[in-house]
Structure 1
């Protein structure tokens, strides 16, 4: 999985929920620029902010050890 994959997932979910980027930014407590860059797959985004955006969308992040991925 690449940063761009996460960004695309976030963009798709945001649109599915009918949210604009500025609305997601406000709900997440991050700036609009951050959401734009995240959705574009900027590789240097701050992980804590990524988690805040995922949380605002109601998404969870699952981390599995090698060989334990379903």
Structure 2
């Protein structure tokens, strides 16, 4: 199960793997640098829409698997 800290760690690791600075990823995803820093730090109240924008800018995909289903939506 993903939690805010794990999500932040994934974002930070992928950003670094792509050689991006926080300011560059923030600009590419339309969020502020402060938001991105808080997201990477695992802030549990980060806005979902902005978090999804950051993930999309990184080329990441989010999958949700419903209980009792093997298919992601």
Question: Which band: TM-score by shorter chain?
Answer: over 0.9
> Aligned Cα RMSD in Å?
1.3
Q: How does 1:1-70 map to 2 (within 5 A)?
A: 1-68=2-69
Q: Secondary structure at the match of 1:43?
A: coil
Output the CA distance in 2 between the equivalents of 1:31 and 1:21: 9
Alignment CA distance shift 1:62-1:40 (3 Å): same
With normalisation by structure 1, the TM-score equals: 0.94
Number of residue pairs aligned between Structure 1 and Structure 2: 70
**Structure 2 residues without counterparts, runs of 5 or longer:** none
Output the CA distance in 1 between the equivalents of 2:8 and 2:45: 12
Runs of at least 4 residues of structure 1 off by over 4 A?
Answer: none
With normalisation by structure 2, the TM-score equals: 0.90
Report Cα offsets for 1:10-49 as digits up to 9, x if no partner: 0000000000001000000000000000000000000000
